[in-house]
Structure 1
Amino acid sequence: MARRHQARRQERGLARNPQTSEGRPVKRALLAALVGTCLLGLSACSSLEKRPAPLLQVAEGDIHLNGRLSIQVNNTANGRPTGGNVGFDLNGRPAAGQLELSTPLGSLLARATWGDGEVRLKTPEMDRSFEDLDALTRELLGEAIPVAALFDWLQGRPWPQMSSSALEGKNTQGFEQLGWRIDTSRFDAVAKQGLIIATRGPYLADPAVVLRARIEP
């Protein structure tokens, strides 16, 4: 009987403080909050000053990708998706680079930079360092995104540092890697433009994540 009452108290506690299936507190992605503020046209909406891409382009293997990016994190506890829809500009390489995110109107919302053992995120309200890119993307987007692999994924190919397998099925193009399913069926690898859809989960301890990137020439 005592155990039954204790279980009921725990259920009531979870109802007051929703959590994910792994016990992590539900947290709205920083990007979603920034985008929401700007789309509402609030006076509090401000933007960063744009600056030239960092001087990393001379190194062999550096790339420049840009387009539109959306991410949806489906939290299984409260059923509310989190994330944002932004323009992106990705420069550099996994070891050193820069990612800028902006509103549909061009206001620069966030700039992430990494290299020389430092990972930083700057927004109109903060300038903060992080332990690694996983921690940064979790704060910004709501879930950790494998940025090192993203450089290759957004070019329609697997990250060569890890194993991958081709997707199976009729009219299906793409691959699976790092627990993610990368759909390249609407991406033109020759023209290097089109839509990349990356999905993960849901798994027991992780919510479902859908990342859509439309690469522009």
Structure 2
Amino acid sequence: MRAWWLACLIGVLLVGCATPSRPSKGLNASSPTNLPAQLPEWQGRISVQVLGDAPSSMSASFSLRGDAYNGELDLYSPLGTTLGALQWTPQLVQFSDGGKHQYFNSLAELTEKATGAALPVDAIFGWLQGQHVQATGWQADLSAVSQGSLIARRTAPSPEVTLRIKLDQ
């Protein structure tokens, strides 16, 4: 009887450690950005560390669709709940958190709100495709992109920022 309870406990713990799969939104007309289906899509984990006087960090699972001009980035907790949804077009830059929408003037402002640092979104799309795109103050290590891993660091202006992306394979 004791072995049965131990087996149940181990099973519950293993299930609790599993990362739930996120439903794919699909690119359809109900999406605020109306992304064309041929645009790339990535899923994985992202972390952003900001050093300096008030250090901060964030880590989340993500689903990224589109490009630097029209795109969507959904951020998820380890339990699979949506932390926030970022959408951008040439006419709209917004962050949705639950039922609330916040609008921004630029992608830099939007990514700073969501991650704690202004990220070079146009360069990130290039880096994810293995392209050596220049972004002021940023250095990207693309040596492991083919294995689904990207690390980029911003050293100027302060504070220093480290971006890590690990793609689902």
TM-score bin (small chain):
0.7 to 0.9
What's the counterpart of residue 184 of structure 1? 142
Change over 3 Å in CA distance of 1:187–1:116 after alignment to 2: closer
Gaps of 5+ in 2: 1-22
Q: CA deviation at 1:212?
A: 0.4
- TM-score under structure 2 normalisation? 0.75
State whether structure 2 residue 62 is matched by structure 1 residue 104.
no
Which residues of 2 match residues 19-168 of structure 1 at below 5 A? 51-53=25-27, 54=31, 55-58=34-37, 62-75=39-52, 77-78=53-54, 81-124=55-98, 126-159=100-133, 164=134
Change over 3 Å in CA distance of 1:50–1:129 after alignment to 2: farther
Q: CA deviation at 1:125?
A: 6.2
SS in 2 for 1:185: coil
- TM-score under structure 1 normalisation? 0.60
CA offsets per residue over residues 129-174 of structure 1, 9 Å max, x none? 1101011111111111011111111222223xxxx4xxxxxxxxxx
Aligned partners of 1:101 and 1:111 also within 8 Å: yes
Q: CA RMSD in A?
A: 2.0
Whose radius of gyration is greater, 1 or 2? 1
Gaps of 5+ in 1: 1-48, 165-176
Partners of 1:106 and 1:122 lie apart in 2 by 16
Percent of aligned positions that are identical: 32
What's the counterpart of residue 163 of structure 2? 211
Partners of 1:134 and 1:119 lie apart in 2 by 10
Which contiguous aligned blocks of 4+ residues in structure 1 show a shift greater than 4 angstroms?
none
